[in-house]
Amino acid sequence: MGNNTNVDMGNYGDREPDIEWINNLAWYGKAVRSDGFTCEVHPGQSSSYGIWEKALFNKVHLHIWQYPLPNLELVILLVFVLWQVFDILFKKLGLLIPKFASMMLAGLLLNVLLTVSGDKSIIQEILFPENRIDVPGCLGTFGFMMFWFLNGVKMDVKTIFKAEVHARLTGVAAAALPITVGLVLYKFKSAESIPLKAVEYNTLLLMESLTSFSEIARLLVDLGMNHSSVGQVALSTSVVSNMVGLMFWLGTVPLGFQSLVQDVGLLVKMFFFIVIVFAVVRPIMFKVIIRKREGRPIEDKYIYGILIMVFLSCMYWDGLQQFPALGAFFLGLAIPNEPPLGSALVERLESFNFGIILPLFMSASMLRSDIRVWKDFLIFYSSNDKKFAVGCLVLLIFLLKLSASMIVPYLCKMPLKDAIILSLIMSHKGLIELSFYLFSYGLELLDRDTFSILVLSILLNSLFLPMTIKFLYDPSKRFMCYQKRSLASMKITGALKTLVCIHRPDHISSMINLLEACYQSYKSPLTCYVLHLVELQGQEVPTLIAHKVQKLGAGTGAKYSENVILSFEHFHRYVRGSIFIDTFTCITNSNHMQDDICWLALDKAVTFIILPFHRTWSLNRTSIVSDSEMIRFLNFNVLKQAPCSVGILVERHLVNKNQESQQNLKVCVIFVGGEDDIEALAFAKRMARQENVTLTVLRLLAGKKSKQMKGSDQTLEAVELRKLVRSYDPGTLKEESSTTYLEEVILDGADTSMLLRSMASDYDLFIISRTCGQNHAATLGIESWCEFEELGVIGDFLASPDFPSKTSVLVVQQQRTIANN
């Protein structure tokens, strides 16, 4: 009945009008009369009339939470607050529990409140409003479909072909072994031993044996392991296992029909859909990318069009009486997962969907489970009980999967501890399994008791498995180095290995100029690893591309880094054989770029990492054109965990040493005392050996020296300075002639500030340590002025806009930790 439908009161005859029926129709939009006649109003009233409703209809008005829109807003707020409270609580306790588990606990808490409060409580009215469509549940289902779609977008099927042999074998074994053992067990079962129907048994066997790539990727992100070596293997293994299980499912689902024609017909319909999305939709998506203007975002009409296709895909698979989310998943696989299209979809949809909409689906799943069944199951009151059989089957498959995922990589020479961690990761269960069980429960393929036990198993898995993994995995030892990798511990003529990090094109010239000023000769070559960092968008798996500049040129894998490769190839030809350059592109999440930097530095035995400062100046070096907090956060993390020495380059003046030019590059290193100062001094000594480079060593002495420095420290620093000023190596006469040593006595930070301002325009580059002046009179009274801690007090002063000269600054930190053998 529409809004313009009139209720014929004459149908009542001589009876009194059914006032309750009329009130229900007016307020709830749906009413059932005593004779069974049902009437609905579409569209219904979505929100209240405000204070006028209370004033005019005091006795018959509805509560605010009984209207669809306020009810939806209230449920969203309630669920969001609850799961955020759990998530924050776990973080405060130091427990790395996945966000998915926090969402489940929020739904569990609502279930407990609903059970305790009874059927007539406010909680019951809010969560299960009378005579109303379950709008929060419908919205949660939409979020669940979008979750599957985005998982397809982020999954790179090509990872299967890139995966190493042991990852492929582990992925196949992790899915095949539990399924094979389960099928053999069911074939020789007795009705008493396994009191489960065939459809229930097959559903449990399939979903418990699978490993979802999206769940593993989400778990690794929550645990901070997605850039570790074990995490990389787990991602590749989960993709293989996911596809093996999916192919198995596609092959066995039609076997439920009695007719061979129906079996074949369903298979044809499913593969027809897959062919259409990959042969038709995918080429269309590439045409959309080609038509996009350079530098412009994807137009909204294409995003809306893709969302419509998501709905149509789900409807198609629902019409086949199959899992509707698979339609969205296959469509997501057909969408190019790289920028600009895949990244735009993930950027626009994922955060809102995962944080706001998807928790509604999780809460609805938990509300459908019977927590009283959990008590009966945990008591084990009957070994022949169906709930006990379900629990035993889940445990058996878990142990089989755990064993297969541990034994195969161990036989492939993976360390035992890493193999155990990998097996635990591969045994993780989460949202994908829960959603399929909920779908099966809705189709009555699973009863409520079985569904409740499966929900309990997923909840326990998602709570305790991550804690076990974190207990076994120690991230602090990932980049631990077992030898000294610092400039001070090297011979001045030794080969230097550096890692140069590039974020933007304007970082290229500054890094090349610095390298040109410090490379030496054939006898003491410079090895430079160039790492171009690109933010990961539209996919889950980080990628490291090796370009091999000297061997392959600029055409191999240069999609993201063409400018970087060409620039450093030109630099290599300019300096010829005295420098070796190897270029890499790292496509990774911005929050984990430091892991890739430190891993590459450890793998290549790098001595010195050079990072760009997060601020970039204009061409005339007078104004700031970019200020990236992401780069600053990255620099902080690299300084904390780097396996070698680190330098941050603040370029405000072209650091350029040209052999053909008669003008010298004037460098000043500021020395106060400490290991970082010695490291800065060692780098400056290398530059002093070059042609057209003049070095000034400025030592700041405290006015009350005895209170600022111990005698042993003074002796050590004096020895280092003596090595610089007076070298006993006959081959370093150039270094002696181009080095000037100065000493200045200062009383406090004000003296230091005045001294540096007076000599600001005399140099092209200042080299200073990060801890220069720490706990020393040189910084007394100016510590609170420091804006950027990563530069240190004096380094921050030299790089500040208030400093009168636009001289470049290199801030150096020596290797912090060395592991004991």
Q: How high is the pLDDT of residue 213?
A: 80
Q: How high is the pLDDT of residue 194?
A: 65
User: What is the per-residue burial (b if ≥16 Cβ within 10 Å, else e) of 744-755?
Assistant: eebeebebbbeb
Q: How is domain 489-549+558-651 classified at the architecture level of CATH?
A: 3-Layer(aba) Sandwich (3.40)
Distance CA 599, CA 228 (A): 9
**Bridge partners for 588 per DSSP:** 535
Q: How high is the pLDDT of residue 631?
A: 92
Which fold would CATH assign to domain 652-703+738-820?
Rossmann fold (3.40.50)
How do the domains of the chain map onto residue ranges?
Answer: 17-69, 135-474, 489-549+558-651, 652-703+738-820
Q: How high is the pLDDT of residue 424?
A: 92
Neighbouring residues of 322: CB distance < 8 A, sequence distance ≥ 6: 253, 266, 270
Q: How high is the pLDDT of residue 181?
A: 86
Strand 693-702 versus strand 739-746 pairing type: parallel
Q: How high is the pLDDT of residue 610?
A: 93
Q: How high is the pLDDT of residue 84?
A: 92
Q: How high is the pLDDT of residue 665?
A: 82
Three-state secondary-structure class, residue 497: strand
| Phi, psi angles (nearest 5°) of residue 769 | -85, 160
Q: How high is the pLDDT of residue 130?
A: 66
Task: Give per-10-residue mean pLDDT for the chain (821 aa).
Answer: 43 53 67 73 65 58 71 88 92 86 90 80 74 74 87 75 77 87 76 68 82 82 77 84 77 59 80 91 88 73 91 90 86 83 83 86 85 74 68 88 90 87 90 84 82 89 89 72 75 82 87 79 77 78 67 46 83 75 85 85 88 80 77 91 90 61 78 85 83 84 54 52 51 59 83 86 88 78 82 87 81 74 42
Q: Residue 14: is it exposed, middle or buried by C-beta count within 10 angstroms (0-12/13-18/19+)?
A: exposed
| Fold agreement (489-549+558-651, 652-703+738-820) | yes
**Does the domain at residues 135-474 carry the CATH identifier 1.10.599.10?**
no
pTM, rounded to two decimals = 0.73
Distance CA 390, CA 376 (A): 13
Q: How high is the pLDDT of residue 554?
A: 38
Q: How high is the pLDDT of residue 147?
A: 87
443 close to 318: Cβ distance less than 8 angstroms: no
Residue type for position 338 = E
Residues 360-380: tens digit of each pLDDT: 888 888 888 888 888 777 765
Q: How high is the pLDDT of residue 10?
A: 42
Q: How high is the pLDDT of residue 390?
A: 84
- Asked if omega into 340 is within 30° of 0 (cis), the reply is yes
